[in-house]
Structure 1
Amino acid sequence: MSNIVDDYLTAPPIEKLKVLEIEIPCGTECIKYSHFKDLLNVETFRQQLEVIDSLKSLIEDKIDVLIRELESRMPIKVNTYELAYSFYRIVEIGGDYTIGSDTLRYEDKVVFKGRFEELMTVYKTIEEIKKEEQLVNLCHEIRYLSESMWVHLDKNIRRALNESKGRS
């Protein structure tokens, strides 16, 4: 058991949140299907993973809200998931869209494909949305909660595993 604890502490497994592709520590389901599954027998570890599971669920709810809010503001149908991904990244990291003759892109994501006039309408709408405090704050909350998961892992999960290692 000591080796598996050391492996986990050295390189905790990660998963990505839907749509936004934010890396987070693995929760219970992810651990259950990994070579770390025996750690679930450590009660304090399992209890701490429940916090990760709860935070993940809360973040996923906020991602759903972000998607709905962005979609409701678009005058033209866009690739909603790519829009949410790009909007979040631009708010939290920076960058901008690439405007082509018929596509609006962010990194490798195509947010919109269509006539140039429609593309510019979508782009201008996004620029207006970026000024909406409610949606910007929602992105900040998602980032804060995902960062909290790593803090929880570093403080509480590491402690729980180190204590269990000391007892074995």
Structure 2
Amino acid sequence: MNNIIDDYLNSPPIEKLKVLEIEIPCSSECIKSSKFKELLRIEGFSQQLEVIDSLKSLIEDRVEVLMRELEMRMPIKVNIDELTFSFYRIVEYGGDFVIGSDTLSFNDRTVIKGNFDEVMKVYKSVEEAKKDDQLVNLCHEIRYLSESLWEHLNKNIRRALNESKSRS
């Protein structure tokens, strides 16, 4: 068991949240289907994973709210997954959309493909959304919660596993 604990502590498994593709520590479901499933027998580890599960669920809820809010603000149908990813990345890390003659994109992600007027309508709507404190704060909250997952892993999960190692 100590070898598995050491492997976990040296290289904790990660998963990516859908849509935003944020890397987070593996939740219970992820652990169950990994080489670390034996660790679930350690009570302290399992209890700490419940916190990961709860925070992950909260983040996923916040992402759903962000998606709905952005979709409601769009004058025409867009690729909402790509818009949400792009919007979040621009708010949290910077950058901007690229306006083409028939596309609005961010990095390699196309938010809308259509005529230039449609592209500009969507772009203007996104620019307005970027000024909305509620949406910006939602992005900040998602980032804060995802960073909290790593803090929880580094403090509490590591402690639980180290305590288990020292008892064996």
- Shorter-chain TM-score: which interval? over 0.9
Cα distance in structure 2, aligned partners of 1:164 and 1:56:
25
Aligned twin of 1:99? 99
1:147 aligns with 2:147: yes
Q: Distance in 2 between matches of 1:124 and 1:75?
A: 10
Hey, what's the Cα distance between the residues in 1 that align with 2:47 and 2:66? 29
The answer to whether the aligner puts 1:130 opposite 2:130 as a matched pair is yes
Output the amino acid matched with 2:134: Q
What's the counterpart of residue 18 of structure 2? 18
Paired with 1:9 and 1:108, the residues of 2 have a C-alpha distance of 34
Corresponding residue of 2:46:
46
Output the CA distance in 2 between the equivalents of 1:96 and 1:69.
20
Alignment partner, residue 9 of structure 2: 9
- Tell me how far 1:107 sits from its aligned partner: 1.2
Matched residue SS, 1:63: helix
Q: Give the aligned partner of residue 112 of structure 1.
A: 112
Could you tell me how far 1:101 is from its partner in structure 2? 1.1
The residue that corresponds to 1:156 in the other structure is 156
Give the CA deviation at 1:99: 1.2
User: Partners of 1:109 and 1:8 in 2: how far apart?
Assistant: 34
Aligned to 1:85: 85
* Paired residues, number: 168
Q: CA RMSD in A?
A: 0.5
**What is the distance in 1 between the residues matched to 2:31 and 2:107?**
31
Overall identity of the aligned pairs, in %: 74
Show the 5 A alignment for 1:46-65: 46-65=46-65
Match of 1:28 in 2: 28
Amino acid at match of 1:40: L
Structure 1: give runs of 5+ residues left out of the alignment. Answer: none
Question: Offset of 1:129 from its aligned partner?
Answer: 0.6
**TM-score, structure 1 as length reference:** 0.99
For 1:59 and 1:98, how far apart are their aligned partners in 2? 28
- Name structure 2 gaps, 5 residues minimum: none
